[in-house]
A and B are shown apart, each in its own frame.
Chain A
Amino acid sequence: SQQGEEDPQALSIQEGENATMNCSYKTSINNLQWYRQNSGRGLVHLILIRSNEREKHSGRLRVTLDTSKKSSSLLITASRAADTASYFCATDFPGAGSYQLTFGKGTKLSVIP
């Protein structure tokens, strides 16, 4: 199965700055999603972008998808200390059964007040 790869693995920024995380994958996909995980907790869905979309916004989040490069980026603008968490991309691809998702390794974001 394919696996998304996020970079950077860890990112530390000051409150108010923007945070950009990238995700790459290896095979064709149907959709790409971004999830957030606070330490020791479950995942929270942030945003889904379909393979025929190039950009999507949700509040302070902006996601882009470049299927030719098999990559996506997640931008968090005007970051807050509460944004500190790990962020994962997840992909589903044609042929995957039962809507299975494959998760990347994640980017750990630290926002310093």
Chain B
Amino acid sequence: GAVVSQHPSRVICKSGTSVKIECRSLDFQATTMFWYRQFPKKSLMLMATSNEGSKATYEQGVEKDKFLINHASLTLSTLTVTSAHPEDSSFYICSARDIGALSYEQYFGPGTRLTVT
């Protein structure tokens, strides 16, 4: 089946530093990947849509200069949290849509737990 990996699974960083999270589709190509943020016991909030070879589309209220997204290939998208602050601590999940799929199904990565101290 379609597998999406995320790295790292957990990261602890100091306030003011930047953190990069990778999202890879392992056995399929994805022109579109999505980045979500999930607060404890809450739903997923779409942050941005990442399109291979073009700029990401950010949802309202999400700072594009703070959450840098790069989708350089059909199997890799990265999210960089720049100048992280404690309020950026959250669970970040990516998902990918199979380039050949006709359905709206998304395949999700296992998530990255970010803690900013």
A residues touching B (Cβ–Cβ < 8 Å)? Answer: 3, 30-31, 33, 35, 40-45, 48, 88, 92, 97-106, 108
Contact = CB atoms under 8 A, between A and B. Distances in A.
Nearest to B113: A40
Interface size class of B (residues with CB under 8 A): 20 to 34
B31 to A, nearest CB: 9
Nearest to A89: B43
A35 B113 CA distance: 20
Looking at chain B's contact residues, the main secondary structure is: strand
A45 B107 contact: yes
A41 B43 CA distance: 13
Contacts of A41: 110-111
Contact of B95 (A3, A43, A92, A108): A43
Given A30-B104, A48-B104, A97-B57, A42 B43 contact: no
B65 interface: no
Given A41-B110, A97-B49, A103 B104 contact: no
Nearest to A9: B41
Interface in B37-57: 41-44, 46, 49, 51, 57
A100 B42 contact: no
Nearest to B32: A98
Contact of A98 (B36, B57, B93, B108): B57
B80 interface: no
